[in-house]
Amino acid sequence: MTEFRNLLLFLLIFALFLGATVEISEGSIFIGILLFVIAVALISQIKVGRSHIITGSKVRMLGGGLILGADITYNVLTQSELGTLDIMTFLLGVSLIAYSIDNEEINRMGKFGTYMSGTFIPLFLIFFTFFGHFNIDFLHVFDHHFVLLPSVFILKMIGIPVEVISTETVRIQGVEEISVVIGGPCSGLYSMFLLIGIMVAYTLIESIEKGKFYSLLFITIAVAYLANLMRVTILYLLGFYYGKELMFAVHVHLGWVIFVVVVAVLLFILNRIADATRAST
């Protein structure tokens, strides 16, 4: 129970840091600082036991330190804004360092963070860097057919006037005329990759069998997709009834809030499956 509590706290802390980053860069600095303070306070709630001492790894600690140093140096030299890839790279470095510490619970959380970020980063690089480099138009196709058109269909089903005016843009005629572009983070792929990383990490550290893993993978992708579709639809409705100012204000906060809720539900399901697996062995 303590192990699951620590994992839940770890992921909640990560979600709060993610929310703080989004808020500080795009939303309310006050809310961002508040989320950061809450995340730091939660770190002190992680229970660290000393009943099991395990062997750490100097190689992992060195690798984690090099990753942290490279990420910080790159951002300082280029003076670039922190993005999702920077956060996950930073998390990978910190996790590798924690994974090398001779303490069971810290080591376990580091292992989890390593698997999670180690899953997210390749997926991010493939879909957002590799495909773009080779002019593979996956993102625009995905945004149009799997986000824009389904959300437009939902709006039309409930009687909201909406018009598709380009591959990733719709026009909504509500209290004011609004053009909304669906692309980048709005595709929901970031949160989908994060949830896949969480599921892969939990499955590996709990040694869940492959059959259940693939079932969970399908469920995770479906949940991430539906959660993002719900987010986009809610934003459309806010824009239609209350205007673009409120829609864009909520846009900053809604994504990470839904992510925290989805993570909590997913972890609950994963923990129940892990308990059932341990009970049957």
pLDDT, tens digit, 9 for 90 and up, residues 62-99: 999 999 899 888 878 887 766 778 878 888 998 898 88
Backbone dihedral angles phi then psi of residue 57, each to the nearest 5 degrees = -145, 120
- The answer to whether position 144 is within a domain reads yes
What integer is the mean pLDDT of 141-170?
91
pLDDT band at 281 (very low <50, low <70, confident <90, very high): low
- Give the separation between CA 236 and CA 233, rounded to whole angstroms: 5
pLDDT band at 56 (very low <50, low <70, confident <90, very high): low
185 versus 141: the higher-pLDDT residue is 141
Question: 52-56, 165-169, 216-220, 270-274: lowest mean pLDDT where?
Answer: 52-56
Distance of CA 189 to the CA centre of its chain: 9
152 versus 274: the higher-pLDDT residue is 152
Within a 13 Å sphere around the CA of 45, how many CA atoms are in the beta-carbon half? 14
| pLDDT above 50 for 26 | yes
- The answer to whether position 129 is within a domain reads no
- The answer to whether position 281 is within a domain reads yes
pLDDT given at position 48: 47
What integer is the mean pLDDT of 172-182?
88
- The answer to whether position 236 is within a domain reads yes
- Give the separation between CA 216 and CA 77, rounded to whole angstroms: 41
Dihedral sign, CA of 169, 172, 176, 177?
positive
pLDDT given at position 154: 94
| pLDDT above 80 for 126 | yes
CB 178 within 8 A of CB 172: yes
| pLDDT above 50 for 51 | no
| pLDDT above 80 for 237 | yes
CB 262 within 8 A of CB 223: yes
pTM: 0.79
- The answer to whether position 42 is within a domain reads no
Q: 171: exposed, middle or buried (C-beta count within 10 Å: 0-12, 13-18, 19+)?
A: middle
- The answer to whether position 204 is within a domain reads yes
- The answer to whether position 206 is within a domain reads yes
- Give the separation between CA 267 and CA 264, rounded to whole angstroms: 5
Tally of domains within the chain: 1
| pLDDT above 50 for 50 | no
Range of the domain at 157: 137-281
158 versus 31: the higher-pLDDT residue is 158
Q: Comparing C-alpha atoms, which of 118, 126, 281 is closest to residue 208?
A: 281
| pLDDT above 90 for 202 | no
- The answer to whether position 157 is within a domain reads yes
